[in-house]
Structure 1
Amino acid sequence: MTDKNNKIPFDEDNYTHNINRNNERKLDRRGFMKTLVGAAGVFAVSSLPWGAVAAKELIGLGDKKYPKQKIVDVKSISIGDAVDFHFPGEHDSAILIRLSEEKYVAYQNACTHLRCPVFWQKEEGDLLCPCHHGKFDVETGAPTAGPPRRPLPEIYVKVENGTVYAVGVKRYEA
């Protein structure tokens, strides 16, 4: 005698009884990969306009003209002293150092390793990054010690009528 409650509600030979065949997963592996590749393609194509804008900006950097900006009066800075200023923008920290009667050098004041501020050490004659003990040659801005591998970006300066002006930024090729 078989009880109505003990009856198996599916064919015993059907091993996929736990899946309703009409409502199987809509996305199999192949469908997932197609969706993934399609999404990657959409993202790649959507980034092209931004890449074109960035390339246009980078191409124009070599020809970019900066407004002449006063840094300091010559009589206000002694030989061996340094002056902090901002150039080319108000958030771009820079440092000017007077090396001799006629020679001035200026660099952007951010270490090329991790953008820590760089300080002038008059006694040692070096530009020092205290974060990782990086040192830069004051004459060229080239790294002489520590982890920095690239020179400090140089700022072109000009002396006119007893005043030192920042007039441009030197671009380095990668």
Structure 2
Amino acid sequence: MSDKNNKIPFQEDNYTHNINRNNERKLDRRGFMKTLVGAAGVFAVSSLPWGAVAAKELMGLGDKEYPNKKIIDVKSIAIGDSTDFKFPGDHDDAILIRLSENKYVSYQNACTHLRCPVFWVKEEGEMICPCHHGKFDVNTGAPTAGPPRRPLPEIEVKVENGAVYAVRVKRYEV
């Protein structure tokens, strides 16, 4: 045999290939668990500031004011009719229903079950989600049938200068 064939094909101080080295790095089960718990602790502590920011934001949602948005002129909506509009943002669908001469109700019209659109059916006097046959009480937004368990978020409206305005989204209490 030649000396050439007995040469080790890698560096002798490379820990990956030299399993007989005395100072080999060891990671037994206990060391692995310590590392895992330490990493989880670091993650938990580092996420605390974000949790505090989220909690602060969620606590103030009920008091959040939006610029009043004109929905429709009073003379343009008959008693028993409805109109769709966007509030508070351009991607937030909502519905306004005129129940009597001076009573208007408004809700975000995404079903609280799976966010399907909710429609006002004047003949039946009900708000209906056609996806899973959910029904909502027009006076309260509370579910009356189907899979939805939570009421529709109500939008507070006011009548001023012959027009109906959206003021704020009321959050329901859990």
- The aligned residue for residue 118 of structure 2 is 118
1:76-131 Cα offsets, whole Å, 9 max, x none, are 11111111111111111100011111111000011111111111111111111112
Aligned equivalents of 2:165, 2:75: Cα separation in 1 = 14
- The aligned residue for residue 102 of structure 1 is 102
- The aligned residue for residue 52 of structure 1 is 52
Matched letter for residue 55 of structure 2: A
Aligned equivalents of 1:101, 1:30: Cα separation in 2 = 74
- The aligned residue for residue 83 of structure 1 is 83
Asked whether 1:162 is paired with 2:162, we answer yes
SS at match of 1:168: strand
Aligned equivalents of 2:131, 2:35: Cα separation in 1 = 46
- Deviation >4 Å, runs of 4+: none
Larger radius of gyration: 1
- State the shift of 1:156 in Å: 0.5
Q: Which runs of 5+ in 2 are unaligned?
A: 1-18
Aligned equivalents of 1:20, 1:153: Cα separation in 2 = 68
Q: Which runs of 5+ in 1 are unaligned?
A: 1-18
Matched letter for residue 154 of structure 2: E
Matched letter for residue 140 of structure 1: T
- The aligned residue for residue 67 of structure 2 is 67
- Alpha-carbon RMSD: 1.5
Matched letter for residue 90 of structure 1: D
Quick check: 2:85–2:93 contact (8 Å CA) kept in 1? yes
Aligned equivalents of 2:23, 2:83: Cα separation in 1 = 74
- The aligned residue for residue 35 of structure 2 is 35
- State the shift of 1:20 in Å: 3.5
Aligned equivalents of 2:86, 2:151: Cα separation in 1 = 19
1:17-63 Cα offsets, whole Å, 9 max, x none, are xx646476732111111111111111111111111111111222232
Aligned equivalents of 1:97, 1:173: Cα separation in 2 = 23
Aligned equivalents of 1:105, 1:28: Cα separation in 2 = 65
